Homo-oligomer: A and B are copies of this chain.
Amino acid sequence: MIGTIAEFSVVPVGAGISLSPFVAECLRIVRASGLRHQLTPMGTVLEGDGERVMATIMLCHSRMLQMGDRVFTSIKIDDRRDRPVDMEGKVRSVQERLAKG
């Protein structure tokens, strides 16, 4: 199966300046999804079946709206059908090129 890689971030508005309680709650939802994922300084990257990836992101978005009145969610999806990719493979292919100089 060829998976989807997507990154998302949530920015609750009017909920104080610290966002880590919100991001932690998203991470709990992401972990419960069973999807492969990676937390970065600017978002969370998910990998897997496209529908499950999007459903998990929207579950996080809905949860944020229970925790506060307004939320901005950004999503970037990289989808390709020509060959399988995974999160590590994307980083590795860049690093291999750099190593070759």
This chain's copy number in the assembly: 4
Tell me if A79 and B70 are in contact (CB < 8 A): yes
A-side interface mostly: mixed
Contact flag A27-B76 (CB < 8 Å), given A13-B17, A17-B13: no
A58–B54 Cα distance when bound, in Å, is 9
Contact flag A40-B77 (CB < 8 Å), given A14-B17, A72-B11: no
Interface bits A17-28 vs B (CB < 8 Å: 1, else 0): 101110110011
A interface residues, Cβ below 8 angstroms from B = 5-7, 9, 11-17, 19-21, 23-24, 27-28, 38-43, 45, 47, 50, 54, 58, 61, 65, 69-82, 87-88, 90-91, 93-95, 97-98
